[in-house]
A and B are shown apart, each in its own frame.
Chain A
């Protein structure tokens, strides 16, 4: 899988492409974390539009980013989740966590 990073007005756009499973995600978290550490963004926008398959490995990526952005006092947003990935997110219940984060993120603004 591929990931591309773009910093735009304090927001780090992370675009993911391919199959987000354990095999595909092997180096993703370390790449992602070094990008966040050097950009120190206020917001992370994870764009899943290019994801053709996702399992719990994707949840770990979302949870990691969520945790890291919390530590930085920022927030995360997940956009363009394809149906299959959305079912995984819903089944896990982490959508509630992320939604909450979004709300508290905008309250602080």
Chain B
């Protein structure tokens, strides 16, 4: 399906970019007229995916993160966060609640939050090559809502 509108962003895996990344997607998603909860959920999901790339994909170096957001014709937001870092050996295991390879500053709830805040999530990863997280969320037009 042809996408209606999109943005693409490349930035280094510096933690200062976490808030920048989620604000960017939130601003882009604003054209779908989401309510405050939906906007918060989108920001949180982006924050989780980007933080994972910063913390886990490039633990001891600075690498490249690519963030894409698209609005499909049916008013669905599609977000992709991609890194070329260390990758995940067992994606199913990594996505389980409370599973973490991090320390006490991680809760192991990142994927669980992405799953619960977005309609759909797909994680593809190759050890040594990197990880790509795709997330979709349809924003239901509000009754009497703003015209696009």
Contact = CB atoms under 8 A, between A and B. Distances in A.
Nearest to A64: B104
B107 A21 contact: no
Interface in B99-139: 104-107, 109-110, 112-113, 116-117
Contacts of A88: 44, 113
Interface string A50-64: 000101110110011
A31 interface: no
B55 A22 contact: yes
Contact of A56 (B40, B43, B107): B107
Contacts of A53: 19, 22, 43-44, 47
Contacts of B43: 53, 84
A25 B105 contact: yes
Interface residues of B, number: 27
A97 to B, nearest CB: 11
A84 B104 CA distance: 23
Contacts of A87: 37, 40-41, 44, 117
A19 interface: yes
Interface string B2-21: 00000000000001101100
Contact of B106 (A19, A26, A60, A83): A60
B15 A55 contact: no
Contacts of A26: 15
Binding site secondary structure of chain A: helix
Nearest to B44: A55
A55 B16 contact: no
Nearest to B108: A56
9 nearest A-B pairs in the assembled complex, by CB-CB distance: A23-B15, A84-B40, A59-B107, A91-B116, A60-B107, A55-B47, A22-B51, A92-B109, A56-B109
Contacts of B19: 19, 21, 23, 53
A84 B47 CA distance: 13
B97 A93 contact: yes
Contacts of B22: 53
Contact of A22 (B44, B54, B112, B116): B54
A29 B107 CA distance: 13
Contacts of B40: 83-84, 87
